[in-house]
Every structure is written in C-alpha cells, then in structure tokens.
Amino acid sequence: MYSQTVMEHFMNPRNVGQIEDPDGVGEVGNSVCGDVMTFYIKVKDDHLEDVKFQTFGCGAAIAVSSMVSEMAKGKTLEEALTITPTLVAQELGGLPKNKYHCSNLGAQALGKAIRDYAQKKGITIKGLELKGEEDEGEE
C-alpha cells in the first residue's frame, strides 16, 4: 500500500519540532480526515535555512510533512514555492489515491509559512500569488 520511502519518512521523520522564534508559520488542516500540519521556517538571505513541522495525522501526513521539509530546506523562497503536491507524491514513490490530499496539505502549509514571512516583512515573493488562500480545503 505505501512505498518504502513513505514508510521510511513515517518511521523516521526528518525535521520534527518547532523553531524558536520562527520567521514564518503556516498551519493547515483537513476537517474530513483530521490531519493538521504546522510548518515553521527560518529564512536567511532569501533561503530557507531551517524548516520544521509538527503534524497530527496519519502515517501519510507525517511522511508528507517530513518530505516537504527535506525538499524545502536550503531552497530559495521562490524555489520552495514550486513544491507541488504532485512533486511531493513523486518523491515519496507515490501515495494511495485516498491519501493524496496529504500532499496538498504539506505544500499548502509550507506556502502559508512563506506567506506569513512575506507579510511580516512586507515583501513580495514571485510565485506566492499562486499559493493563495484559494488553495485551502482542496483535495
């Protein structure tokens, strides 16, 4: 049912926790399945210096959060905004159809953390307009 990569990220998730005094925080949830993801970012020179998460949810949600944090760390803010649910699912070796919504949540939570950072700094980040609030609740 789950790929070996999904199981690895579920059993040994990377970057779990909070960042003390984060530059941005993004939280998303799905009321149908109960998954809640919170991403914390630290930005230095327009790069994601650190990315951490706290996820309450199923194994797929935890694996997605772990993978998104790994994919985003070290990238520029613009590059991080190009992380899509499809890319996350591909990196994980696929997700069952009924768990694909988890990859949406991971990408949305990261996008919200970057949006939070941009709003705090009063800056515009190319690609952020594509990761708007309209993404919320999509499955």
Tokens of 2: 């789950």
Using the Cα atoms of residue 77, residue 30, residue 66 and residue 116 in order, give the sign of their dihedral: positive
CA gyration radius, the chain: 14
Question: Angle at CA 88, nearest 5°, toward 86 and 89?
Answer: 65
Q: Classify residue 131: in a domain, yes or no.
A: no
Catalytic entry in 102, 110, 114, 125? 102
Q: Is 58 a catalytic residue?
A: no
Residue 84 lies inside a defined structural domain of this protein: yes
CA 22 to chain centre: 15
Contact 22, 114 (CB under 8 A): no
CA pair distance 31, 12, nearest whole angstrom: 26
User: How much is the pLDDT for 131?
Assistant: 52
Q: Give me the domain span that covers residue 15.
A: 4-119
Q: Which CATH number is 85's domain given?
A: 3.90.1010.10
Given the residues 7, 16, 33, 87, select the one marked as catalytic.
Answer: 33
pLDDT number for residue 133: 47
Tokens representing 81?
């905004």
Is residue 20 in some structural domain? Answer: yes
* 139 is a domain residue: no
For the chain, the domain total comes to 1
- The reply to whether 133 falls in a domain is no
Q: pLDDT tens track of the chain, all 139 residues?
A: 899 999 999 999 999 999 999 999 999 998 888 899 999 999 999 999 999 999 999 999 999 999 999 999 999 999 999 999 999 999 999 999 888 888 889 999 999 999 999 999 988 888 887 554 444 444 3
